[in-house]
Structure 1
Amino acid sequence: MHYDYTVVYYEVNGDTRKRSYFADLKSANEFYAECKRKLKSQANALAGQSAREILEYRSAETIANNMGLSMPELFDKIVQAYKVLKKNNYNGCFFSLLDDYRVWRSENDPNITLDSAVKSYLEMVLASKKRDSTKTSNVNFWNRFRREFSPNGDTPLVALNAKRLESWLIDLKSIKHTNMAKVDKISLPTKHNYLVMLITFFNYCVKMGYISRNPAKFIILPALKRPAPKAYTPDDIIAALKLFEPGSVHRLYICIAAFAGIRPAEIGRLKWLDIDLEERVIRLSSLATKMSSRRTVHVQDNLYEWLHEWREYFGTDKLIVPEVDRVQWLFLKKFKQSGHKVIHDGLRHSFGSYLQALTDDCDLVTEQMGHTLPVFKSHYMDLVSKEDAQRYFAITPQTVKI
């Protein structure tokens, strides 16, 4: 038989595009009208339903499709199975279907919304010992994420899959709130940082039992070429110290970061009684360190001389550098304004690089820095010379004159 007419359509319960062939126009039109009727019927069934109800319906569709059934066929089978169940112990595919759905519901509760999961996560973040700036950036990011993915507050957490998250992250734009909103592109490094935030959040959700697996782990972003690690020169450090008056908290911050390699957030939690000049050590408690494990940092000879500028404070329970975020911000601002190039985590990286060049002892430096050996090798190996290291640790109050 010769077919003159073709109807291209999508299955009601699937994404597969199909073709049907007809010899006459009337049959083709009738088939086309029936396809439209089915699609309209499905649309009416979903209209007015909540995001959770639609998700459950789609999930039931998926299970039905895996069994080679349409939704009407599935309902018919359920009715038939129920009738048979009254007479004897039915053990067919109906029970497999219900078991699949039961497992899906036990592992992915649609009652857990994105809003409730984000609220729980932010409560954990705000109660942690993270820096205030980190807490603020988390609040801003997750409030935006919640607005864009759950404008009505009812989106189930399990509705967020890797494909949807990846598309959002790749197309993400930055909104600067000025008198007129200005939309800028977000850099690739920032997107990679956001990906880390997504992975951390969904790991938390898996741990709490909200979902069964982390969708963010399947997101693929363009490869990020990280810049080679760098360190400040001894002259850079001298210039930075000259920017601030002797005895100032900003100069103290530079000395501890550059000559002890302690992280800014850890400096912000240090107290004067944590410094023991007799033993020449700085003791960081588990509450102060990033990795929540105690660490003891040796006080280098030049740092020992620097710390005497603040000897009146030793033994007190006061913070060494209050408002460390603001202190760090002002240092970086003035350092950049003075014509120097700012290096990310430059003071800490400089300490590690010069100490390694001076001692040639990976284990010692790793212990002092609170790093793992692979991270240490990627950041601090072979960056500077031993001669420069000797100059670096010879920087004392006597060699820095304003």
Structure 2
Amino acid sequence: RDTLQDTSSHYRSRVRQVLGAFASVFGDCLIDDVTPDEFEKWLTGWKTTPPSYNSALRHIKPFFAWAISKKYAVQSPAEGIKQRKHQRAPISILTPAQAHSLLDACRDYSGDGTMPENLRVNAADMKIAVAVLLFAGVRPEEVTALTWEHVKLAHGYIRIEPEVSKTNSVRLVRIEANLKAWLETVPPEKRSGKLAPKNWQRKWQAVRRGAGISHLNDVCRHSYASYWLAAHRDTHGLLENMGHTTSKTTIKYYLTACNPEEVPAYWQIFPEDRGAS
């Protein structure tokens, strides 16, 4: 806990999950009694896909290094175990029409018999948060912690604080013209408190289901990055907005993810009262 106190809550949560799973199997053993073969067999059985396997390995290795530094162990059971290679699948992004549909799906499902009972919620108050996901690339877990104090409309940016950010670092995300219009649909006197409404998880599930994108993960963030990079051709600016330090592979995928002819339409998704498509 002392070692991880300066890391993000998301990272700490992942470490707890991995260490908990490890302890449930090897909790009665000394670390030195766990052989690399036993460790690898356990990890392979628990995390069956290369991405999940690699993630778990990344999150548990620092624990073994810490144990060795404290002389609780002589060697790491993960020593010599390498990450698995895998072909990264193309990222999924929304078309401008699908982005429209996602915003339109921020509506009242209270009496919608086509929805599962637990998703029959009034999600009409989701539009601002969803617009921030689509047009600022903020992660869903970050948007739930953002307040209007983080939105610097007069200066044109949203401030993501370390305690909010997945990467535990400050980043300033530029407010695009269409996002500014969405934010300004909220009267100044009501710009207080959190951007995301209460009961976020159920409402977000309902909105995604209503828009037909329940099967797509991180699609708003990927869409933002792809359309932003296509519009600005500024890789450094995108990395700053996304909170990445370097990611050549990611940039490569974002560069080819969207059709150039659809880029203007994405950034012209304004609230209807602005008269835009």
Q: Give the TM-score category using the shorter length.
A: 0.7 to 0.9
Partner of 1:146: 23
Query: Which among 256, 260, 264 is matched to residue 390 of structure 1?
Result: 264
Unaligned runs of 5+ in 1: 1-120, 174-185
- 1:293: how far off? 2.6
Aligned pairs for 1:55-66 within 5 A:
none
Aligned pairs for 1:151-162 within 5 A:
153=28, 155-162=29-36
Identity in percent: 23
Q: Alpha-carbon deviations, 1:165-188, whole Å to 9, x = none? A: 102122348xxxxxxxxxxxx444
- 1:223: how far off? 3.2
- 1:361: how far off? 1.5
TM-score (norm 1): 0.56
Letter in 2 for 1:266: E
Is structure 2 residue 113 aligned with structure 1 residue 236?
Answer: no
Partner of 2:129: 253
Cα distance in 2 between the residues matched to 1:222 and 1:160: 21
Letter in 2 for 1:363: H
Q: Could you say if the C-alpha distance between residues 193 and 305 of structure 1 is closer, same or farther in structure 2, counting changes exceeding 3 Å? A: same
Aligned pairs for 1:265-284 within 5 A:
265-284=141-160
- 1:374: how far off? 1.9
Cα distance in 1 between the residues matched to 2:264 and 2:176: 12
Native 8 Å contact 1:356 1:365 kept in 2 = yes
- 1:352: how far off? 0.8
Aligned pairs for 1:17-36 within 5 A:
none
Q: Match of 1:310, SS?
A: coil
Cα distance in 2 between the residues matched to 1:190 and 1:157: 23
Native 8 Å contact 2:136 2:175 kept in 1 = yes
Q: CA RMSD in A?
A: 3.3
Cα distance in 2 between the residues matched to 1:343 and 1:203: 36
Native 8 Å contact 1:163 1:219 kept in 2 = no
Query: Which among 279, 282, 303 is matched to residue 179 of structure 2?
Result: 303
Q: Could you say if the C-alpha distance between residues 286 and 221 of structure 1 is closer, same or farther in structure 2, counting changes exceeding 3 Å? A: closer
Q: Match of 2:9, SS?
A: coil
Is structure 2 residue 232 aligned with structure 1 residue 359?
Answer: yes
Q: Could you say if the C-alpha distance between residues 200 and 266 of structure 1 is closer, same or farther in structure 2, counting changes exceeding 3 Å? A: farther
Is structure 2 residue 195 aligned with structure 1 residue 320?
Answer: yes
Range with bigger deviation, 156-165 or 234-243: 156-165
Native 8 Å contact 1:165 1:219 kept in 2 = no
Q: Match of 2:144, SS?
A: helix
Native 8 Å contact 1:261 1:349 kept in 2 = yes
Partner of 1:64: none
Q: Match of 1:269, SS?
A: coil
Letter in 2 for 1:345: D
Higher relative contact order (CA 8 A, sep 6+): 2
Cα distance in 2 between the residues matched to 1:156 and 1:400: 67
Cα distance in 2 between the residues matched to 1:381 and 1:330: 31
Query: Which among 359, 374, 380 is matched to residue 248 of structure 2?
Result: 374
Q: Could you say if the C-alpha distance between residues 142 and 293 of structure 1 is closer, same or farther in structure 2, counting changes exceeding 3 Å? A: closer
Q: Could you say if the C-alpha distance between residues 237 and 360 of structure 1 is closer, same or farther in structure 2, counting changes exceeding 3 Å? A: same
Is structure 2 residue 43 aligned with structure 1 residue 164?
Answer: no
Range with bigger deviation, 224-233 or 203-212: 203-212
Partner of 2:111: none
Cα distance in 2 between the residues matched to 1:208 and 1:310: 54
Letter in 2 for 1:147: S
Larger Rg: 1
Query: Which among 211, 217, 222 is matched to residue 349 of structure 1?
Result: 222
Partner of 1:215: 77
Letter in 2 for 1:289: S
Q: Which has the higher helix share?
A: 1
Native 8 Å contact 1:166 1:220 kept in 2 = no
Query: Which among 65, 89, 104 is matched to residue 227 of structure 1?
Result: 89
Q: Match of 1:377, SS?
A: helix
Partner of 2:118: none
Cα distance in 2 between the residues matched to 1:365 and 1:347: 15
Cα distance in 1 between the residues matched to 2:227 and 2:125: 24
Native 8 Å contact 2:171 2:241 kept in 1 = yes
- 1:297: how far off? 1.1
Q: Could you say if the C-alpha distance between residues 374 and 143 of structure 1 is closer, same or farther in structure 2, counting changes exceeding 3 Å? A: same
Unaligned runs of 5+ in 2: 109-122
Letter in 1 for 2:142: E
Q: Could you say if the C-alpha distance between residues 340 and 292 of structure 1 is closer, same or farther in structure 2, counting changes exceeding 3 Å? A: closer
- 1:209: how far off? 5.3
Partner of 1:183: none
Letter in 2 for 1:335: R
